[in-house]
C-alpha cells in the first residue's frame, strides 16, 4: 500500500502526518444529496484564506469565515461587532455562543444547500459540540476536517507581512507576494500597496501583529488543537509549509471525491 509519513514540529512535539496519496484514496462518507461540510483547519497564517477559494471553486459551496463575518460586524458597528471589537484586537477568542449563533443562521441560507466550507470555526471543543448539535437537528455531520500543517516558526513572517484586499479577500505579502504597485526596495505603505486587479488600497489586519500573534497561537494550541481529537475520524492533513503552488494540488485531491 502506498503509505509514507513525514514529521512537522508543532507545540515543540513531533506530529506524524499521513501521506497525501493515502488521504486521497479515502472514500467520502456522504450519501447522495447530503451536504458536504468541510472544516478548513490550521493556525493563523497557515493559508486558510488563500486556499479556501480553490475549494469553493471545486465544490461550488460557500466559504464561511467567522473572522470575516465578525470584522464586517465591527465595521458596521452592530451589537455583535461592539462585543467582538476589543477581544479581536487582542487576538483572543470571542464567545462560543455568539459565533455558534452566527453560523447557525448562516448555514440555513439558500447558498448552503449543497454544503459549506467553514473557515475559522469551530475554534474550541465547546464550539464543535454546538456545531454537532446544530447539525444533528438535520441528521448531518462534518464530512472532512482539512488540516493545513505549518510549523509555528514560519507563521510570524507570513502574518506580519500580510496585506489584504478587503473586498475580494485577495492576500499579498510585503516580501513573498508583492503587489505590482510596490516598487523594488520601497517600504510598504497604504499608498504603494494596491490590489493588482482593482488598484484599490490593501489593508493590514489590526491583529496581524507580533504581539497579537502570540495570543492567537496560544489560543490555537490550547483551545483549537484539541478539536483534532474530537474530529479524528475525518481529519485529512496537508503539508502547508510548502509553496502555495504545491499545496493546491494536495487540496484538489482531497476534495475531488466530494464533487457533485
Interface region with ligand AMP, contact rule CB under 6 A, candidates 66-74, 164-172, 196-204, 232-240: 66-74
Return the residues of window 21-60 that contact ligand AMP according to CB under 6 A: 44
CA–CA distance, 45 with 162 (Å, rounded to integer): 9
Quick one: cell of 162?
500580510
Which 130-189 positions form the footprint of ligand AMP (CB under 6 A)? Answer: none
Residue with cell 485531491: 253
Selected from 23, 46, 66, 143, the binder of ligand AMP by CB under 6 A is 66
Q: Are the beta carbons of 120 and 106 closer than 8 angstroms? A: no
Residue facing ligand AMP at closest CB distance:
67
- Concerning whether 170 is annotated as a catalytic residue, the answer is no
Query: What is the helix (H) or strand (E) element at residue 15, kind and residue range?
Result: strand 13-18
Regarding 123 and contact with ligand AMP (CB under 6 A), the answer is: yes
Binding residues for ligand AMP restricted to 222-241, rule: CB under 6 A: none
Among 61, 207, 220, 247, binds ligand AMP (CB under 6 A): 207
Whose Cβ is closer to ligand AMP: residue 123's or residue 182's?
123
Cβ closer to ligand AMP: 130 or 182?
A: 130
The least distance separating ligand AMP from the CB of residue 27, rounded to whole angstroms, comes to 29
The rounded distance, in Å, linking the Cα atoms of 29 and 36 is 10
Q: Is 48 considered catalytic here?
A: yes
Residue 130: active-site member: no
110 burial class (0-12, 13-18, 19+ CB within 10 angstroms)?
exposed
Contact criterion met (CB below 8 Å) for 169 and 68: yes
Provide the b/e sequence for 246-255 (b: ≥16 CB within 10 Å).
Answer: ebbebbebbb
Subset of residues 69 to 108 that bind ligand AMP, contact rule: CB under 6 A: 70, 87-88, 91-94, 99
CB burial of residue 12 (10 Å; 0-12, 13-18, 19+): exposed
Name which of 123 and 236 has its Cβ closer to ligand AMP: 123
Give the CA radius of gyration of the chain: 18
SS3 track for 58-84: HHCCCEEEHHHHHHHHHHHCCHHHHHH
Q: Is the dihedral of CA 237, 171, 259, 100 positive or negative?
A: positive
Nearer to ligand AMP, 87 or 125 (CB): 87
Whether residue 54 lies in the annotated active site: no
Residue closer to ligand AMP (CB basis): 70 or 80: 70
- Cell numbers for 40, please give them: 478548513
Given the residues 71, 178, 216, 236, the one annotated as active site = 216
Q: Which of the residues are catalytic?
A: 48, 123, 162, 205, 216
Catalog residues that contact ligand AMP under the rule CB under 6 A.
Answer: 44, 66-67, 70, 87-88, 91-94, 99, 120-121, 123, 127, 207, 216
Amino acid at each position: 500500500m502506498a503509505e509514507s509519513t513525514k514529521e512537522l514540529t508543532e507545540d515543540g512535539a513531533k506530529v506524524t502526518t499521513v501521506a497525501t496519496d493515502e488521504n486521497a484514496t479515502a472514500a467520502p462518507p456522504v450519501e447522495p444529496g447530503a451536504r458536504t461540510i468541510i472544516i478548513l483547519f490550521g493556525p493563523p497564517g497557515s493559508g486558510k484564506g488563500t486556499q479556501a477559494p480553490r475549494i469553493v471553486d471545486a465544490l461550488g459551496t460557500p466559504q464561511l469565515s467567522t473572522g470575516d463575518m465578525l470584522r464586517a460586524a465591527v465595521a458596521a458597528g452592530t451589537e455583535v461587532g461592539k462585543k467582538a471589537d476589543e477581544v479581536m484586537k487582542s487576538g483572543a477568542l470571542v464567545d462560543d455562543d455568539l459565533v455558534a449563533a452566527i453560523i447557525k443562521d448562516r448555514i440555513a441560507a439558500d447558498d448552503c444547500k449543497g454544503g459549506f466550507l467553514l473557515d475559522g470555526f469551530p475554534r474550541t471543543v465547546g464550539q464543535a459540540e454546538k456545531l454537532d448539535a446544530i447539525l444533528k437537528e438535520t441528521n448531518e455531520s462534518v464530512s472532512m476536517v482539512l488540516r493545513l500543517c505549518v510549523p509555528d516558526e514560519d507563521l510570524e513572517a507570513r502574518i506580519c507581512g500580510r496585506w489584504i484586499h478587503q473586498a475580494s479577500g485577495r492576500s499579498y505579502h510585503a516580501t513573498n507576494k508583492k503587489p505590482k504597485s510596490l516598487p523594488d526596495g520601497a517600504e510598504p505603505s497604504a499608498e504603494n500597496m494596491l490590489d493588482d486587479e482593482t488598484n484599490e488600497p490593501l489593508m493590514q489586519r489590526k491583529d496581524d501583529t507580533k504581539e497579537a500573534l502570540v495570543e492567537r497561537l496560544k489560543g490555537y494550541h490550547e483551545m483549537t488543537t484539541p478539536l483534532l481529537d474530537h474530529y479524528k475520524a475525518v481529519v485529512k492533513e496537508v503539508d502547508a509549509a510548502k509553496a502555495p503552488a504545491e499545496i493546491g494540488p494536495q487540496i484538489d485531491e482531497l476534495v475531488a471525491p466530494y464533487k457533485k
